[in-house]
Chain A
Amino acid sequence: MPFTEAIDKLGSQSPVGAALSSSEWSDLPVELRENAFFSANVESLRFLQSAQDSIGDYLAANVKTLADGQTLLATGSRAAFVDQMQKRLAAMGVARGDGGIQDITSERRLGLIFNIKTQQAGDYGYWRQGMDPDVLNEFPAQRFIRVLDVKEPRLSHEEFQDQVYLKTDPIWARVINKDFGVPWGPWGWGCGHDVEDVDRDETEELGLLKPGQEVLPEKKFLNTNLQASINGIEPDLLDKLMAVFGNKLTVDKEAGVVRWNEPALKEALAADVSPVRENPVSDAIDSKVHGNLAKQVDAALAAIDQVHDDGSLPEIPLRSTARNLYGYFQPQIVDDGITANYIAIRPDGAWPALTTVHEVGHFLDLEAIGAKGGFASMDGDPLIQEVLAAADDTDAIQGLRERFARLQDETTKYLLRPEEIWARAYAQFVAARADSPVLTTQLAAAQAAEKFRQWDAADFAPVAAAIEKMFLQLGWL
């Protein structure tokens, strides 16, 4: 069952990007931190929004429906979150780093984000439930207990271990949780402590309350729209905050408070041009390759994700092949027609990234365009027929037709197959539209390698327009 308070907590936070370290973020007033969804040294609002959405899906146990009608959790686990974020980052053109904690693409860093955000939201939820007046007076205190052994226990927590304090005691936020400054967990970076409820009888026995004494909830953090007192901020820090965040912060001198400027935060998010796809093609490709080919595939998928969405594709593996062709798309026959099986790419082909896009073009032709069970390009699907008709009028295709009329050779005949014209056109469309130096270079190489294989830019323009029209009709742009 979804944990409403935890979900609400996450929803009360706005993505705030800044090149601030963990230490610099911790200098901010807790009221500002609690209303912000941030991660150290992350400036991309789109990434933060994606991470927040994904964690929200996890907390709410949201489901997504696949093309075949099956449903599954949108973000079912920490591993799923890491996988989704790595694909998002790749789609945004963020290259893999050294795998360390500073590397935003690393499993370690993304896993830490997931752990901290879910624990913060969950522990806030428990704290908030504990502030319900009836619950609070039934269980007015809590005990600080160790639940996980850690490599380096912090000495400052040892003295509080197994100690009991009222839930409303400021010691929780001010002394015990110095890292985050809030009266709920996590109780610090790498901390293995948690709290357990202590009932009224024991609380009174410990002398923390007089018999029958009422406890009033701590109201400060119950308000999800927090603002910090200017008096609590050093002038130098306030100047620094204004320099970093500009109009995203509102300083209300009359009221003596500083708070996030929600309209400015929303405007900044909308202005972030990094595209985020609801159903990116990269989600459907389970890459099984390594080394340089993995980089080529990542670049190809990132470029595709830049250019368009795909509706919803089944997930297939992408493998390596050592055979004498640059790549292929392997479909399989099943009871109700043809379905996708896998893609294979040759690592030492002349243009592996372009080949990857080309084979993805076949994948889309089969699974995402037109009726299920066959290739739209061969089924006479009206949408893709407009693209093929536009291609047919180009100098490149006319050149191939003339060549075939003269040579009657299988290679040219193959290049004139509708599914093959589509895949080459799709690859050129992505290469031309994406901001991808790898694809730009490889497209140029393919254009130079064989006449009429690809189109020159002017010749291709009507084909690109037709693909764009089709993608708009499919809702992919």
Chain B
Amino acid sequence: MKETDFIQELIVEIMQQGYDRKTAGDYAVLIGDTPVTDARGQVLVMDGRRRVATLQPLKMFTAE
């Protein structure tokens, strides 16, 4: 597993929420390894302080 492989896996997971490949790719880049969440655990796609989209919780970001 390469460190940056997670970006491609993240794109796949976002696409499973109904987004096309291009949009999911853009969102994955913006989310990166700093996934902003809200109180309900939804992932907010942020560009700086601007909210771009709201995604359902992503399995990629699950801690124990």
B6 touching A324, Cβ below 8 Å:
yes
B3 touching A410, Cβ below 8 Å:
no
- A319 contacts partner chain B, Cβ-Cβ < 8 Å: yes
A413 touching B36, Cβ below 8 Å:
no
Kindly provide the distance from the CB of A339 to the nearest chain B CB, expressed in whole angstroms: 10
User: Which chain A residues lie closer than 8 Å to B30 at the CB level?
Assistant: 417
A325 touching B63, Cβ below 8 Å:
no
- A186 contacts partner chain B, Cβ-Cβ < 8 Å: no
A328 touching B4, Cβ below 8 Å:
no
- A81 contacts partner chain B, Cβ-Cβ < 8 Å: no
- B62 contacts partner chain A, Cβ-Cβ < 8 Å: yes
A420 touching B32, Cβ below 8 Å:
yes
A414 touching B46, Cβ below 8 Å:
no
Q: Known interface pairs A321-B63, A325-B6. Does A333 touch B37 (Cβ–Cβ under 8 Å)?
A: yes
Kindly provide the distance from the CB of B5 to the nearest chain A CB, expressed in whole angstroms: 7
Task: Please count the residue pairs between chain A and chain B whose beta carbons lie under 8 angstroms apart in the complex.
Answer: 108
User: Which chain A residues lie closer than 8 Å to B15 at the CB level?
Assistant: none
A414 touching B7, Cβ below 8 Å:
yes
B63 touching A374, Cβ below 8 Å:
no
Q: Known interface pairs A333-B38, A350-B3. Does A320 touch B63 (Cβ–Cβ under 8 Å)?
A: yes
Q: Which of B11, B33, B37 has the most A CB atoms < 10 Å from its CB?
A: B33
Separation of A344 and B4 alpha carbons in the complex (Å):
16
User: Which chain A residues lie closer than 8 Å to B47 at the CB level?
Assistant: 378
A324 touching B60, Cβ below 8 Å:
yes
A417 touching B28, Cβ below 8 Å:
no
Closest to A349 in B: B3
- Interface size of B as a range: 20 to 34
User: Which chain A residues lie closer than 8 Å to B33 at the CB level?
Assistant: 325, 327-329, 359, 362, 420, 423
- B18 contacts partner chain A, Cβ-Cβ < 8 Å: no
Closest to A333 in B: B38
- A148 contacts partner chain B, Cβ-Cβ < 8 Å: no
Separation of A328 and B35 alpha carbons in the complex (Å):
8
B28 touching A328, Cβ below 8 Å:
no
Closest to A365 in B: B34
User: Which chain A residues lie closer than 8 Å to B59 at the CB level?
Assistant: 323
The 0/1 profile, CB within 8 Å of A marked 1, for residues 35-60 of chain B is 11111000010111101000000011
A414 touching B48, Cβ below 8 Å:
no
A450 touching B4, Cβ below 8 Å:
yes
Kindly provide the distance from the CB of A364 to the nearest chain B CB, expressed in whole angstroms: 12
A-B contact pairs, 19 of them (CB 8 A): A323-B59, A323-B60, A323-B62, A324-B5, A324-B60, A325-B6, A325-B33, A330-B36, A330-B63, A338-B36, A338-B46, A359-B33, A373-B49, A374-B48, A378-B47, A411-B4, A414-B29, A417-B30, A419-B32
Taking A344-B61, A414-B29 as given, write out 18 further A-B residue pairs in contact, using a Cβ cutoff of 8 Å, ordered by the A residue number: A319-B63, A320-B64, A323-B62, A324-B9, A325-B9, A325-B60, A326-B3, A328-B35, A330-B34, A330-B37, A332-B36, A332-B39, A366-B34, A373-B49, A411-B4, A414-B28, A417-B30, A420-B33
